[in-house]
A and B are shown apart, each in its own frame.
Chain A
Amino acid sequence: MAGLTHCPTGIDGLDKITDGGLPAGRTTLVAGGAGCGKTLLATEFLVRGVERGEAGVLLAFEETAEELAANVASLGWDLDRLQAEGKLVVDYVKVDREQIDMTGDYDLEALFIRLGLAIDEVGAKRVALDTLEVLFAALDDTARLRSELRRLFAWLKGKGVTSVITAESGGGSITRHGLEEYVADCVISLDHRVSDQMAVRRIRVVKLRGSTHATNEFPFVIGATGFSVVPVTSFGLEHPASTEAVPTGVAGLDAMLGRGGWFRGSVTMVSGESGTGKTTFAAAFADAACSRGQKCLYMAFEESAAQLARNMSSVGLRLDHWMDEGLLRVHANRPTELGLERHLTTVYEQVELHDPDVVVLDPVTDFTALGGGLDIKALLMRIVDYLKNRQVTAVFTSLNHPLGEDTALSSLIDNFVHLRMLENGAQRRRSLFIQKARGMAHSHHVRGFELSEDGIDILDAVAEAAP
Chain B
Amino acid sequence: MTDSHPTAGDANGASPGPIGTAGAPGALADSPPPETWELRLYVAGETPRSAAALANLRRICEEHLAGQYSIEVIDLLERPQLARGEQIVAIPTLERRLPEPVRKIIGDLSNTERVLIGLDLRPER
Contacts and interface: CB of A to CB of B under 8 A. Distances in A.
A103 B80 contact: no
B105 interface: yes
Given A101-B105, A114-B80, A116-B80, A107 B114 contact: no
Interface residues of B, number: 32
Contact of A103 (B84, B88, B114): B114
B73 interface: no
Interface in B20-74: 42, 44, 49, 53
B81 A111 contact: no
A103 B83 contact: no
Contact of B91 (A93, A100, A109): A109
A110 B49 contact: no
Contact of B107 (A91, A106, A108, A116): A106
Contacts of B117: 101
Contact of A105 (B49, B80, B104): B49
Contact of B84 (A95, A108, A109, A114): A114
A102 B101 CA distance: 17
A111 B88 CA distance: 7
A110 B83 contact: yes
Contact of A114 (B53, B83, B105, B110): B83
A103 B49 contact: no
B14 interface: no
B111 A104 contact: yes
A101 B89 CA distance: 13
A308 interface: no
B56 to A, nearest CB: 8
B76 A113 contact: yes
Most chain B CB neighbours (cut-off 10 Å) among A103, A106, A108: A103
Q: Is the interface of A mostly helix, strand, loop or mixed?
A: mixed
A93 B115 CA distance: 23
Contact of A110 (B90, B108, B115): B90
Contacts of B19: none
Contacts of B84: 91, 114, 117-118
A107 B77 contact: no
Contacts of A104: 53, 107-111
B90 A107 contact: yes
A222 interface: no
Interface string A103-133: 1111111110110111000000000000000
Contacts of B42: 110
A113 B118 contact: no
A58 B109 CA distance: 31
Contacts of A103: 105-111, 114-115, 118
A101 B90 CA distance: 12
Contacts of B88: 110, 114
B87 interface: yes
A111 B105 contact: no
Interface string A409-447: 000000000000000000000000000000000000000
A183 interface: no
Interface string A80-107: 0000000000010111000111111111
13 contacts: A100-B104, A100-B105, A101-B103, A101-B115, A103-B105, A103-B111, A103-B114, A103-B115, A104-B108, A106-B108, A107-B91, A110-B76, A114-B84
Interface of A: 91, 93-95, 99-111, 113-114, 116-118, 135, 139
Sort A-B residue pairs by CB-CB distance and give the 6 closest, nearest first: A101-B118, A104-B107, A104-B108, A104-B110, A103-B114, A109-B44
Given A101-B118, A103-B106, 11 more contacts: A100-B103, A101-B115, A102-B105, A102-B114, A104-B53, A105-B108, A110-B83, A110-B91, A117-B80, A117-B81, A118-B84
Interface of B: 42, 44, 49, 53, 76-77, 80-81, 83-84, 87-93, 101-111, 114-115, 117-118
